[in-house]
Structure 1
């Protein structure tokens, strides 16, 4: 049994029996002609990511984003784990006590993963603190020249 999620909103159960009974013919690469309830449907797989099990499918000129979960994916979710968990860091804390030498971002600025956010001097070494993810800077809690303790809040993301 598969679970299909369409446009991140609608979820359907798909059995192997339903797939076997599907009246579909591949007319060319990634293009299909489907008969369902005496209606003709044209489907085209526009893009696919086999590893993530995600597909963009155009059906009669409407495009749908489809994610498939097989039995193993469903079991992982049932155990409380996430499939393809992404980084969701919402704040940057000082990894060690030190002095803020430079701040390279401003509030409301959009940053990409690994962009330099600030420079923290600790034990006579300059440590560049990079962005852990793409995002927007919500607030900057320190100023250049401030000394900070370990785990002090430096920057918040939206």
Structure 2
């Protein structure tokens, strides 16, 4: 598991921040939502104005400027790369291979209804079996692989029908 977070500020600036960098930060809480930070001999006042933990978005006021910050960890990035979109409606449009490997089992077919938690595909990679399950109820639109197929990272494996 990586010790790095990817942050996006105001949808235009991206930064990688390590856990080590966070632990070195000279920040002192002044109230439940406010912090006093010292950085390069400068004093910074930061307040968490609002937060949405499910979307990992935060509105932060630094001195007198407001910033929208989105924080993603390795799991969030992997979920996005795999084609899963989990939110209020839990939609799943595509299952994309997160790594190269060999398909050792396909447990769904086009037109099949699946429930959340049902296994879709089992992929062997780096001497490990990886089971990919449905993160929502839905109907399979197409299956693009069969048993014993070699797949590349980013390859489309299973496609779901669009919700109506």
Residue 8 of structure 1 deviates from its aligned partner by 0.9
The list of structure 1 runs, each at least 4 consecutive aligned residues, that deviate by more than 4 angstroms after superposition, is none
Q: Does 1:40 align with 2:43?
A: yes
Q: Which runs of 5+ in 1 are unaligned?
A: 88-158
Measure the CA separation in 2 of the matches of 1:14 and 1:85. Answer: 27
Q: Secondary structure at the match of 1:19?
A: helix
- Partner residue in 2 for 1:131: none
TM-score (normalizing by structure 1): 0.51
Task: Give the structure 2 partner of residue 7 of structure 1.
Answer: 10
Cα distance in structure 2, aligned partners of 1:82 and 1:64: 25
Question: Is the 1:77–1:83 Cα contact (8 Å) retained in structure 2?
Answer: no
Q: Does 1:75 align with 2:74?
A: no
| Counterpart Cα distance in 1 of 2:22 and 2:47 | 17
1:25 paired residue number: 28
User: Is the contact made by 1:41 and 1:59 (CA closer than 8 Å) also made in structure 2?
Assistant: yes
Distance 2:65 2:16 in 1: 21
Q: Is the 8 A contact 1:34 1:43 kept in 2?
A: yes
SS for the counterpart of 1:51 is: coil
Task: Give 1:138's aligned residue.
Answer: none
CA contact (8 A) 1:24 1:32 kept: yes
